Structure 1
Amino acid sequence: HALTLEPPFPEGHYNCGDARLELGDITGALAEFDRTLVLDPRNTDALLNRAGVHAELGDEEAALRDVATGLELEPGHAQLLSLKGRLLAERGEADSALDALAAALASDPDLSEAWAVKAEIAFGAGDLETAAADFDRAIRLGGGIEIRYNRGLVYEAAGRFAEAASDFEAVLAETDDEDARAHRASCLRGERAGV
């Protein structure tokens, strides 16, 4: 309603984009962030959010373009660097991803998301100790249930079944995730068997 009463202004469209994201309207959010950036091409928060939407829609190249544009405007933007790390990790470019994550964490050592992506890379490389430590850090910094699930997978792979079962129980307390249920059952069996 405010947008109908005022001349076009980027903040209104940006806020609508955030609201649409919360409601699960991904394509509507993308349109709002597009409009924000037409009105204010230097809005790094809109670039970050639009990059995240592109990533969610599977358009990795568009996401990386928005990240690159944002980093030209603000080279030390921790969340843009973290998203860059995640996108590069998904492409299998682990070394470049770790460089981006190191830069993100140098800018904001408390960025849970960056620690979680770093942990995922370590897990993929078979470094369970580093993966567990990085997931621990991400969770202490407020990481959500998805991070708890992923730490459970690391603990399970390391044979730390009681800790893994605890993580999967935490996931099940908030969701009805069948994978978490299956992993929890497997961990409880492993714990009982003393494997």
Structure 2
Amino acid sequence: MNSGQYYNQPVADWARQNIRGRVEVRRLFGSRLGMIFTYVLLFSIPGAFLLLGLVMLALGAKAGDGVGALFFFGFLLLFPCGLIALLGAYVRRGLAKSLDAEGVSAALGKRFPWGKLYYVDHVTKHLRAGRVSRQVKDNQLELVFEGGKVIIPPLIHERAAVWELVNSMPAEVRDDGVPRASRANRAEEELIAFLNSLDKPRAQGE
């Protein structure tokens, strides 16, 4: 596709006519207070080491009394905690925050206009417990734009309404990256092949 000329006019027109106001994509466990509480728990262990070291210094303790070890372990634990926090921020940046008549806003503020939407992908989640595996169809939606991808996760408030809104737009739809029309054609071909395989033994018997 020529990125300079590509523009999805049908989706852009549909959005202006059908999306009124701002549609929030609110995660079930993604409130601001919940995130603050998570970060407090994450950094509480290294913080406890550092705080204890500061208290011992204030009370006149020396480095040989274990203060240096407390600071060492405190700063050492900051690295994995910081990496976990950065990983969480990296994952969140691709999540949708809201939808409006002009486009989609990602969690960290990046905007994706509807005119640059390529397709909507319905992604399956694969679960495995021991030898048992199962699939959760249509687990999450991925809106693939010219400038990147925005994910609508499964655990959100008013999930059915958001799914219905996205599914009603006149955009190309894919299932796990496969165009839905192609998948339907492939399923039809597999059915015909199966029926033909049933006819072969009957023809041989005659």
> Does TM-score exceed 0.5, indicating one fold?
no
More strand by proportion, 1 or 2? 2
Structure scoring higher RCO (CA < 8 A, sep ≥ 6) equals 2
- Which band: TM-score by shorter chain? under 0.3
Where is the helix percentage greater, Structure 1 or Structure 2? 1
TM-score, scaled relative to structure 2: 0.21
